[in-house]
A and B are shown apart, each in its own frame.
Chain A
Amino acid sequence: MKPKQQRLILGIFAVLAVSGAGFLALSALESKAAYFYSPSDLATSDVEPGKAFRLGGMVADKSIIREPDGVTMRFVVQDESNRQSVVFKGIAPDLFKENSGVIAEGSLDASGQFIATNLLAKHDEKYMPPKLDGKMHKTGEVSQ
């Protein structure tokens, strides 16, 4: 084998490895990527229980209920037309509150409740989930 051939073979190897990795990655993405749904998306698509995804929306007004155990909470995530009830066990992130945006990671249980394993509230004063502006508050009463 001449050096020239060896270089060619190594080159082909490299291309094969990289494209093989790409293939592997894309096929893994099919099954492992978590989709991002709003309550409305969720209502129109049938997501099987147990499949992990992210739920994004606003925490509905006066919906946060704390269980007597002190660490479990229930609340409702809503967007302009739909609502989804969520159960979360843990320390809520600092910016988590009613009437503000939240992203919950988790999956649906058999009864259709979203079991959140993690809550993300954006650490950003300027952050609001898109499409969730004043529209949804047209009927709601806001008081201190």
Chain B
Amino acid sequence: MIAEAGHAALWFAGAMALLQFALGALGLTDRYQSLRGSAAPVAVVQMVLTCLSFLCLIIVFMRSDMSVLLVATNSHSDKPWLYKFAGTWGNHEGSMLLWVTILAIGGATVALFERALDVRTKTATLAAQGAIALGFYAFLLFSSNPFARIDPAPANGQGLNPLLQDPGLAFHPPTLYMGYVGMSVAFSFAVGALVTRDVGPTFARAMRPWILGAWIFLTIGITAGSYWAYYELGWGGWWFWDPVENASLMPWLAATALLHSVTVLATRDSLRAWTIMLSVVAFSMSMIGTFLVRSGILTSVHSFAVDPRRGGFILMLLALYIGGALALFALRINTVREGNRFEAISREGSLVFNNLLLSIILVIVLIGTLYPLALEATTGTKISVGAPYFNSTAGPVTLVLLIGMAAGPLMRWRFDQAKKVAERLALPALALALAALLLAAFAGPIGILPLLGLVVAAGVAAASIAPLWKRNLRRTPLFTWGMVIAHLGCAVSMAGMAADSAFTKEALVAMQIGQTQQIGPYSVTLNKVTEEPGPNWSALDAEMIVRKGDDAPFTVHPQSRTFTDPPMETNESAITTAWNGQLYLVIGIPKDNAGFPVRFYWKPFVTLIWIGGIFIALGGLLSLFGRVNRDLFSIRRLFGKKVAAS
């Protein structure tokens, strides 16, 4: 009964999306101007219905209602409740329902809270949002109904892929989806502005919180996903250039570029066409990400359910929305007036530099991700593109980007003198040189790219704090703090990546009970191995004692788990975090009497990668608060003046 209610709510929500699109589109014509206000309440009703539908799905999963096909194929009544709950979106249909739910919430938020925007642009934005939602409702209802029943109902379900039975899963997809869908709002804004030709600072200020918000979620999602892969997959790596990972990285790159160009538009009224273009590209990347993951067109370590018809459906939506928006761009943008001009050496100039480099990285990642697909389709040759390609191409470009990032915030708007910029960069350059000297003296032989990474990170860290130099810190606006912290985060993250690839120590040993192995500053002894039962698995649990110098020894427990539903084995790594790095241990299943194979890693400063990611997200959050506060304040002042004038 609950499943049917959810299904019905989804149908009604789809109808509301259609209504929202129709009312919005009609409202734009002169004849039906009176309809302009009515798209907004419809968007809110649509949101309520979708949330209801999603709630129904959660209930069905929590109650392990095996007569629903989706539950039977993805859940199991023995599972802990968190995984039943997270299992709701740990599958194709559920995750697409989550997608539209967040989309609808985004649309309703625009409808309720967007005040600054011109009413015509807002109406066009809501119409565009309705059109996007409509496509995804159709997708759900016609090709991926999450509420389909099976008859007869099985007594128990097939279970969730054990790799996905992890607390990280509960929050990772929703976080990424918030990012993807936030981009959809930016996209709708761009389409709305193209329709009404109203591109300017007001529009940019209305759009900016959405971009910032989406970007924060994407940053968190990518950081968390990277850490999840690091501790769960047990390979000691933190980024695999897997297509599914790239699918989340590409929207982030586009969003980062957009975030910077929208600031130029808001502050200086330049880069109008470019900002519109980036909004379209950013959402396109989100849709392509969804398409790549959900169509199964690319093979990857994340194997999701695959169905070519579903891929075809998403592809149609992709063609419709992206193709439509790009055609609209080509037809309309000439009629949007040019923005203000600026010199090459200026804050704007540096932001253009940032945008171009981010676009280059985006293209490199996009081509690397899609090339195997294109090659197989055209010649039948199978290849895999991995870290060697991405690191050797995107790596150097990222370093150049970071150097630009060091200089950009130290330049003035409109025009600046190269000599003065160089003066302001003197201190960071000193830090950079110092780091280079220290590394040359003490670090021993390391690769050229990690070396450059560490050196540049030091310089950028110093440069990113420089905007606070000689400023009254208490009067520095929040968004400046945000920028400083986010840029510092980039430097910290870069330092972590470079340190990991430069200094990691690794060993692989067949351990007998009682044997001791030295790794980095630690010595690790295998004390005993026992069988441990878990809720839906049994594990080989190794007790290992770790000693470092005279410190008190401690125990860690790497496990090799065997799941029963579905049958499968996973390695649970044991990770010990110290201030200067992580000790990472993985145990394998012993064969014969050769001992327990154990992989040891000592990864100095690897944690900086994710700490940097948290910094970046935190910087975004501070900016968001700062901007929203100031924008609200200026709007209030504007309205105050109007009231006074009348």
Contacts and interface: CB of A to CB of B under 8 A. Distances in A.
Interface stretch (A79-87, A119-127, A134-142): A119-127
A32 B384 contact: no
B389 A29 contact: yes
Interface string B359-378: 11101100110011000000
Given A17-B356, A36-B383, A3 B508 contact: no
Interface of A, secondary structure class, is mixed
A29 B274 contact: no
Given A35-B383, A91-B586, A94-B571, A28 B510 contact: no
Contact of A123 (B340, B568, B591): B568
Interface in A62-77: 66, 68-71
Contacts of A52: 388
Given A21-B363, A33-B371, A70 B571 contact: no
Contacts of B273: 7, 11
A4 to B, nearest CB: 6
A69 B510 contact: yes
Contacts of B364: 21, 24-25
B241 to A, nearest CB: 11
Nearest to B511: A70
Nearest to A38: B382
Given A17-B356, A24-B364, A29 B371 contact: yes
A69 B510 CA distance: 7
Interface string B565-606: 011111100000000000000111101101101110000000
B508 A18 contact: no
B367 A22 contact: yes
A6 interface: yes
A91 B597 contact: yes
A92 B392 CA distance: 28
A2 interface: yes
Contacts of A66: 591-592, 594
Interface string A1-21: 111101100110110011011
B509 interface: yes
Contact of B360 (A18, A32, A94): A18
A74 B224 CA distance: 37
Contacts of A69: 510, 594
Interface size class of A (residues with CB under 8 A): 35 or more
A47 interface: no
B360 A95 contact: no
Contacts of B599: 90-91
B568 A21 contact: no
Interface string B337-368: 01111100000000010001101110110011
B38 interface: no
A26 interface: yes
B512 to A, nearest CB: 9
Given A20-B360, A69-B510, A124-B303, A94 B392 contact: no
Contacts of B571: 91, 94
A70 B367 contact: no
Nearest to B372: A33
B301 A94 contact: no
B163 interface: yes
Contacts of B384: 33-36, 54
B594 A32 contact: no
A34 B367 contact: no
Nearest to A26: B367
Contact of B508 (A14, A35, A90, A125): A90
Interface string B234-246: 0100000000000
A89 B599 CA distance: 11
Contacts of B359: 14, 17-18, 21
A54 B589 CA distance: 25
A34 B388 CA distance: 9
B230 to A, nearest CB: 16
Interface string B377-397: 000011111101100110000
Contacts of B342: 6
A28 B389 contact: yes
A50 B271 CA distance: 48
A25 B363 contact: yes
B356 A91 contact: no
B504 interface: no
Most buried by B among A10, A11, A105, A118: A10
Contact of B363 (A22, A68, A118): A22
Contacts of A92: 588
Contacts of B538: none
B501 interface: no
Nearest to A24: B393
Contacts of B303: 122-124, 127
Given A25-B364, A36-B384, A91-B598, 17 more contacts: A6-B342, A10-B352, A17-B360, A21-B361, A21-B364, A22-B367, A24-B364, A28-B393, A32-B385, A71-B594, A91-B587, A92-B588, A94-B568, A94-B569, A94-B570, A118-B235, A127-B303
10 contacts: A6-B342, A17-B357, A18-B360, A22-B367, A32-B385, A33-B371, A52-B388, A66-B592, A95-B568, A125-B566
Q: Give the 9 A-B residue pairs with the shortest CB-CB distance, closest first.
A: A70-B510, A70-B594, A91-B588, A94-B569, A3-B338, A32-B389, A36-B382, A21-B360, A21-B363
